Amino acid sequence: MVDAFASCLLLPDRGVAKALRMFKAHYNVQVPAISDFEILLLARFFGVSFDVAARRCEDLELIPRGAGFALSGRLKKEYGSAEKRADQLGVPPRAPIALPALSRQLSASVSQALEGGNVSIGWITDRLGLSIAEVLAANKGRASL
């Protein structure tokens, strides 16, 4: 159920179609059928697991229902995992995703609360599970804390 939700959210139908066209052109894939290679590319491109990408391909009727599960099992049996197979094929790694310690909105609220003297930096670090350095870095450029 989680894979189904993630596949719909993270792999929009138009994005999947454009990506598949791009992959097939780039790698000069002439076969119209979707193979494990294209699913591995989708997984890495969209930052999801092979199973999520395969499920989305099933939902979009690009591969038969159950084919993703079968392919996943085959990759695990023959290569140890889908990730190991992707590495073996030279599929580019997923781009790292940098998440800030504090969102802009939370950072603004923290800064306002600190400037107003409503809370201490110790209280903020304790409640948010951050270090003082992380709070200061997130509020860099704002009024001094």
Residue 33, C-beta contacts closer than 8 angstroms, at least 6 positions apart = 63
Per-residue pLDDT, 7: 73
What digits encode the pLDDT tens for the residues 34-50? 999 999 999 999 999 99
pTM of full prediction above 0.75: no
What value does the mean pLDDT take over residues 92-106?
85
Distance, CA of 45 to CA of 1 (rounded, Å): 22
Q: Where are the domains of the chain?
A: 2-89, 104-138
More confident: 52 or 5: 52
